[in-house]
Amino acid sequence: MDTIPVVDFNAYNLGVNNVPDNKLVKLGEEIKAAFTGVGFVYLRNSGIEDNEVTNVMSITEKFFLLPEEKKRPFSRGTFPNGNHGWISLEQESLNPRCPGDLKEAFNVTSLSAKEWPTEGVDGFHGIQEKFFLRCKELSLRVLRVMAIGLGLDPSVFIKAHKLIGSDENDSTLRSLYYPLVKSDNVKKDQIRCGEHSDYGSITLVFQSPQAGLQVRNRNKEFILAPYIPGTVLVNIADLMQRWTSDVFVSAVHRVLLPPPGDSGIRQSLVFFVQPDNEAMITCCDGSNKYPPVNALDYLLERFRDSYGKK
Ligand SMILES: O=C(O)CCC(=O)C(=O)O
Ligand SMILES: [Fe+2]
């Protein structure tokens, strides 16, 4: 498979409560084909509308455009949850062999954080929380369909994701802002977001129209993952690949610099779904291809790489 398939999720869209089994089985087959192939799928009619996405992007853009001293108090590493908060330009290298990524980010990992940006970004907390919960609902639906696609107990994945949105689960809504690029200042091998695969179970990605995201397919070629209005891009992450004994594929992806002369900024909203901190992840086919691993231990080990062994 050398393109990313588009699947119509209407039968199990967030507004639908009762869905016949045969429709779930059909969705399961379509999603399985995508996740065993390129590892990415676009879902159309998920129930999350483009205007919800632009609403979140416009408040986070206001935050990213604040002067540095207004953002610094919210830095990642200053909250009880170590992953929550603001990440400055070039602070993170998703490809640890390359210079820091040309992006800023804000991670919402703890909905119960005590301090939220307010000045100049009225409604920030409420808007983030609402969108986080929408992403949570969609993710649980996708996890159910994935289990059905594999012919497993439909709850096999969701029962390890009972605590999303609480402090016992590190799922994260990350707003990303890729500012204008002045080519004179770009370092060797520096891009907007270095080559990486995601760490947890699945990831939802909502992009602004500016191109740049690329996914490595099974032939090891990078293919474009363009913005497609009315869709959300969903991909398998590393812990899910391990959980499914490599049946579902966690594909490497990256965000390139804009072409010379393109003065566009880029934004994306990424919802990283992570199993509950205490969940033990054991190969779902009953094999022992990988030993059981604690979900939080696995995540923390991966963070050590992208932030430079701390
Ligand atoms: O900005 C994007 O489109 C994707 C970013 C990404 O892959 C990530 O943050 O893990
Ligand atoms: Fe990613």
Q: Are 293 and 281 in contact (CB under 8 A)?
A: yes
Pick the residue whose CA is nearest to atom 1 on ligand 1.
Answer: 268
CA of 178, closest atom in ligand 1: 1
Q: Is the residue at 1 inside a domain?
A: no
Place of tokens 């966690």: 250
Q: Are the CB atoms for 152 and 283 separated by under 8 Å?
A: no
Alpha carbon 1 to its chain centroid, in Å, reads: 22
Q: Which domain holds residue 115?
A: 6-307
The Cα-based distances of 135 to 41, 69, 219, 242 in angstroms read 16, 30, 31, 23
Structural domain contains residue 263: yes
Q: How far does the centroid of ligand 2 lie from the alpha carbon of residue 242, in Å?
A: 17
In a domain, 212, yes or no: yes
Q: What is the pLDDT of residue 184?
A: 79
114 assigned to some structural domain: yes
- From ligand 2's centre to the CA of 197, what distance in Å? 6
Take atom 9 of ligand 1 and give the residue whose Cα is closest. 270
CATH code of the domain covering residue 117 = 2.60.120.330
Distance of CA 87 from the midpoint of ligand 2 (Å):
15
User: Does residue 260 sit within a domain?
Assistant: yes
Q: What is the pLDDT along the chain (310 residues), one digit of tens a residue?
A: 578 999 999 999 999 999 999 999 999 999 999 999 999 999 999 999 999 999 999 999 999 999 999 999 999 999 999 999 999 988 988 998 889 999 999 999 999 999 999 999 999 999 999 999 999 999 999 999 999 999 999 999 999 999 999 999 999 999 999 999 887 789 999 889 999 999 999 999 999 999 899 999 999 999 999 999 999 999 999 999 999 999 999 999 999 998 887 778 999 999 999 999 999 999 999 999 999 999 999 999 888 776 664 4
- CA–CA dist 74, 115 (Å, integer): 8
Structure tokens at 109: 């990992």
- Alpha carbon nearest to ligand 1 atom 8, residue: 270
Q: Which residues form ligand 1's pocket by a CB distance below 6 Å?
A: 176, 193, 198, 205, 207, 213, 253, 255, 268, 270
Q: Whose alpha carbon is nearest atom 2 of ligand 1?
A: 268
CA–centroid distance, residue 123 to ligand 1 (Å): 24
Q: Say what the pLDDT of residue 76 is.
A: 96
Does 232 fall in a domain? yes
Asked whether residue 134 is assigned to any structural domain, the reply reads: yes
Environment class of 219 (CB within 10 Å of its CB; exposed 0-12, middle 13-18, buried 19+): exposed
Question: What ipTM goes with this model?
Answer: 0.99
Q: What is the pLDDT of residue 182?
A: 82
Which ligand is nearest the CA of 106, by number? 1
156, exposed or middle or buried, with CB in 10 Å at 0-12, 13-18, 19+?
Answer: middle
Q: Which residues of 254-282 are buried (b: 16+ CB within 10 A; e: fewer)?
A: bbeebeeeeeeebbbbbbbbbbbbebebb
CA–centroid distance, residue 198 to ligand 2 (Å): 5
Overall size of the chain counted in residues: 310
Give the pLDDT confidence score for residue 309 in this predicted structure. Answer: 47
Count structural domains, the chain.
Answer: 1
